[in-house]
Structure 1
Amino acid sequence: MTTLDPWGAVRIDNYSKLFDEFGISRFNELLGRIPDPHRYMRRHVIFGHRSYESILDAMLKGKPFAALSGFMPSGRVHLGHKMVMEEIIWHQKHGGDAYLAIADREAHAVRGISWEKCRELGINEYILSAIALGFEPGGHIYFQSGSDPVKDLAFELGIKANFSELSAVYGFSGETNIAHMVSVLTQSADILHPQLKDSGGPKPVVIPVGADQDPHIRLTRGLAYKMNMFIVEERSGAEGAYISVRGKAALKGALLEIAKRTGGKLYEEHVDIFARDLQEVESVVREVELKHGGYAFMPPASTYHKFMTGLQGGKMSSSIPESYIALTDTPDEGAKKVMRAKTGGRVTLEEQKRLGGEPEQCTVYELLLYHLVEDDKELMDYYKDCVGGTRVCGRCKKYAADLMREFLKEHQEKRELAKEKLGEFGLQVR
């Protein structure tokens, strides 16, 4: 059984197991419908999703949707964080309302980092890099501790959550501090608050994550369900297929309005609706719920990307600087880390030429795949040359190191320019 731990160092060797064990859907089934897909989508780095159809439908129809991710300010910003930032920025460019949360409540509760340090790391590491990568004004950047809507919603969500549920999802025990539990509910509030009335109301929201963060998604989807006034289900009976709308409380007036607007048959605690489209009924139910003071949350969607391997093989760890490249490493430091990285080459040059390399085992090829080469044909040429034994590791490392040096130089120049944009997000350098 695969265990997903949002706060641990996780390596998943068989991603296909997640489809069956956790009910994650295969992303490649949607790929043909996505306009201008990101390279992570094209290259199957994004391998799974929950409810991404709702995002894609809104994107294609020009309807409101949002993309959000949070970053715990506990260390340096690195290429793993860059992956998530790029996914948020891609959705922003395709019409989504973009949110970037600095999870300082989580860092303070789980890592014991001071509020001042959280602020410093949040701005100087994560936010500057996000803006440098293309996060545009009009998007929302905030600290959990400074967002009253998020904190208020977290309190309301706490009414619907209990210790047994949190323990089942996260493995919490009697030794877990209460603030840690509060930080979990705050993350659920992060995910749901783009659907609050002041943020434009219910809409599809996607959270790009690594698979280790799926517990947060599952918990939040469950809480969204609990917070809503109505349950909408497709059913079948003697009269054929129909849609049932059930009230969780005695909302007779609201059920009556739903029955009138959908042509459904009203019962004591539910309405049965025939010959109507599910999405149309759900839209009516949301409108009625909002009118009667409810939230009408849509279950959040999520995408799941593969983890990057540590540069020396194995897990990438923030405690081992040589295992990752920080976006604030100097260009020469980044290039040197690439030159020292583990490759998928054979033991000898003769074997390399005879048997070919193994790019699937090569952290340098992974850097090209994830970050350094945008053109798919160029990447495929490097792959073929590697497996065909015509490209040796030293040459490939040199090429990747030069690309990394160039990327870091350009990125850090953009980080300096990003400081001038902080005011547009209501922030300033500290």
Structure 2
Amino acid sequence: MAGETTDSTTLQTEAEVEQEVTPWTVQAGKRGIDYNRLIEQFGSQRIDPALLKRIEQVTKQSPHRFLRREIFFSHRDMQLVLDNYEGGKPFYLYTGRGPSSEAMHLGHLIPFIFTKHLQDVFDVPLVIQMTDDEKFLWKDLALDEAYRLAYENAKDIIACGFDVKKTFIFSDLDFMSEPQFYRNVLKVRKCVTFNQVKSIFGLTESDSTGKIAFPAVQAVPSFSNTFPQIFGDRADIFCLIPCAIDQDPYFRMTRDVAPRLGYLKPALVHSTFFPGLQGPKGKMSASDPNSSIFLSDTSEQIKTKIQKHAFSGGRDNLEEHRKHGGDTDLDVSYQYLTFFLDDDAKLAQIKEDYESGRMLTGELKQVLIQVLQELVVQHQERRKSVTDEMVRQFMTPRPLNFDAARK
């Protein structure tokens, strides 16, 4: 992506850097990601208190902390999902993972944690797409390696606790041979022009034809008849997609095409980006081991990374910090706790103590170290129990528990 050298005519100061968010590039502006700007740019809707109250009424439980804390902050047609569900109409969930590294990092967990919550609350089927074909096209990655990584990453996904009776995980390289999958891919490709793909995704004439053709592959799991093993030939099952907001361009295209094919538009709920350890201006990078906490890290590695690399919102010296307090909007350790510390009262107390100067940066980091060590160790224990046979079971096309009586 970025080169290592430049000249004075092309050098940009931090203040001049423009925000850019695409499925493959996240470039923050001077003050980080402006999510209000993304909502305006993408044409989505903010998840407001009225929608949160509606979710609570329908699910009969408090909204997930990701909703309470505006980590999932934007949506398309979430009200329609709730209307349909209350009206007895079924829906299913769809999310995915682009397998480009041996181990997933904490940021990769966010959509899966929330998707599992939705699966549990609504008791609905889930399909998880492993876009190994996409990573082959965009990364310096051999095709067989991308395929292998899809199965390795599937073990981390299964370790999140998904119900095998309600979850189908599939590799694109495997599933493209399914007749209905490829039929729907072709239907979408016929509806989308090269100019539209260039405009939506920022592709150019120098990009491979594989990149130009790929968006249709990510679109079609939004259509229920893509999965005849689960839904038969029904094309009227609504789809809800939890994802990071950088994936939205795929589904803006999908929502434009769907009515022309006689299919339902998918609904979406968007998350913010999980920041890298060095600062809250983008999302973690799997290519920089010091920007990320990986699910394969040891407890000692987690401790060292947070102590050495977690960006601090504290003051320059103890006296200044005690006097003026820390900045929780900038402090990565605090930001991580908003994702993983479930106790609202404890999080509020930490915020008050840090901003008042009563809590020091080192003390805040120690709280985070304990939270993440426990989380990662528990995940690693669950992953150890995921056998190759379990992976094959999750990744075999088959019927799922699906309440077709909701109609």
- 1:369 is aligned to 338
Give yes or no for contact 1:4–1:215 (8 Å, CA) kept in 2.
Answer: no
1:7-406 aligned at under 5 Å gives the runs 7-11=24-28, 13-28=33-48, 29-34=50-55, 35=59, 36=61, 37-75=63-101, 76-94=103-121, 95-124=123-152, 126-138=153-165, 139-147=167-175, 148=178, 149-193=180-224, 199-200=230-231, 201=234, 202-228=236-262, 297-313=263-279, 314-315=281-282, 316-340=284-308, 341-371=310-340, 373-406=341-374
- CA distance 1:194–1:334, change in 2 (3 Å): farther
In the other structure, the counterpart of 1:413 is: 381
2:277 aligned counterpart, secondary structure:
coil
AA aligned to 2:293 is I
Name the % identity. 27
* Matches of 2:367 and 2:229, distance apart in 1: 49
Residues 1:426 and 1:184: Cα distance change in structure 2 (over 3 Å) = closer
Deviation at 1:218, TM superposition (A): 0.5
Can you list the C-alpha shifts for 1:277-334, whole angstroms capped at 9, x where unaligned? xxxxxxxxxxxxxxxxxxxx11111111111221011433222111111111222212
Q: Using the TM superposition, name which of 64-73 and 414-423 deviates more.
A: 414-423
Please state how far the C-alpha of 1:111 moved relative to its aligned partner. 1.6
Instruction: Write the deviation string for residues 136-156 of structure 1: whole angstroms up to 9, x where unpaired.
Output: 102111011211232331112
What is the CA RMSD across the aligned residues, in angstroms? Answer: 1.9
Distance 1:2 1:353 in 2: 34
Q: Given that residues 353 and 359 in structure 2 are in contact (C-alpha distance below 8 angstroms), is that contact kept between their aligned partners in structure 1?
A: yes
The CA deviation at 1:61 is 4.5
Aligned residue number for residue 280 of structure 1: none
Does structure 2 retain, via aligned residues, the 8 Å contact 1:194–1:205?
Answer: no
Q: Is the 8 A contact 1:145 1:151 kept in 2?
A: no
Q: 1:62 to 1:86 in 2, by over 3 A?
A: farther
1:4 paired with 2:21, answer: yes
Cα offset, 1:117, TM superposition: 1.2
CA deviation digits over 1:101-139, x for unaligned, max 9? Answer: 100111122224223212321122x21111111111021
**Contact 2:93–2:241 (CA<8 Å) still a contact in 1?**
yes
Give CA-to-partner distance per residue, 1:40-86, whole Å, 9 cap, x none: 00111111101111222234445311111121111131111100111
Output the amino acid matched with 1:335: K
Change in Cα spacing, 1:358 to 1:154, as seen in structure 2 (3 Å) is same
Cα shift at 1:364: 0.4
Q: Secondary structure at the match of 2:386?
A: helix
Q: 1:2 Cα shift?
A: 5.7
Alignment deviations for residues 231-261 of structure 1 (CA, whole Å, 9 cap, x no partner): xxxxxxxxxxxxxxxxxxxxxxxxxxxxxxx
In 2, are the aligned partners of 1:356 and 1:390 still within 8 Å (CA)?
yes
> Is the 1:211–1:304 Cα contact (8 Å) retained in structure 2?
yes
- Give me the TM-score of the superposition, normalised by structure 1: 0.79
Deviates more, 1:191-200 or 1:414-423: 191-200
Distance 1:197 1:407, change over 3 A: closer
CA distance in 1: counterparts of 2:343 and 2:85, whole angstroms: 24
The residue type equivalent to 1:329 in the other structure is D
Distance in 2, matches of 1:426 and 1:207, equals: 19
Q: Give ranges in structure 1 of 5+ residues lacking alignment.
A: 229-296
Aligned in 2, Cα 1:426/1:309: closer, same or farther, shift over 3 Å?
closer
Aligned partners of 1:180 and 1:193: how far apart in 2?
24
Change in Cα spacing, 1:131 to 1:157, as seen in structure 2 (3 Å) is: same
TM-score normalised over the length of structure 2: 0.83
C-alpha spacing 1:184/1:426, structure 2 compared with 1 (3 Å): closer
Identify the range of structure 1 (60-69 vs 94-103) with the bigger mean alpha-carbon deviation.
Answer: 60-69
- Using the TM superposition, give the Cα deviation of residue 190 of structure 1 relative to its aligned residue in structure 2, in angstroms: 2.5
| Secondary structure of the corresponding residue to residue 30 of structure 1 | helix
Please give the secondary structure, in 2, of the residue aligned with 1:379.
helix
Aligned residues between the structures: 357
What letter matches 1:127 in structure 2?
Answer: A
CA separation in 1, counterparts of 2:187 and 2:33? 38
The structure with the larger Rg is 1
